[in-house]
Amino acid sequence: MSNDIVQLLRLWSTNAAEQGVTEAVDGLTRAADEIERLRAERDEARQRLCKVVGDNRDMWGEDVAKEYGWDCFKEVANEQ
């Protein structure tokens, strides 16, 4: 079983739908959507910070993120 809360919420939502607990489905789905939105905003803010810090230290933003232990550039790397 996954440790990612978004995947768990979506699994629980599917299980609730199969059991006919429709009021739970909406709440679980909305919670998962909100977490994904907040993660995207967080990663964008981290990317911007890393780029600024990197510019001041003559480094790439991706290297700054690695230094902080952040994976905020993961989707950017996957798109290239």
Dihedral (C-alpha) 77, 9, 32, 2: value to the nearest 10 degrees?
Answer: -10
Q: Summarize the confidence of residues 3-12 as an average pLDDT.
A: 92
Q: Is the pLDDT of residue 5 over 80?
A: yes
Q: In the block, which residue shows the tokens 């290239």? A: 80
Q: Is the pLDDT of residue 2 over 70?
A: no
Q: Which pLDDT band holds residue 23 (cuts at 50, 70, 90)?
A: confident
Q: Summarize the confidence of residues 76-80 as an average pLDDT.
A: 49
Domain boundaries, the chain: 5-79
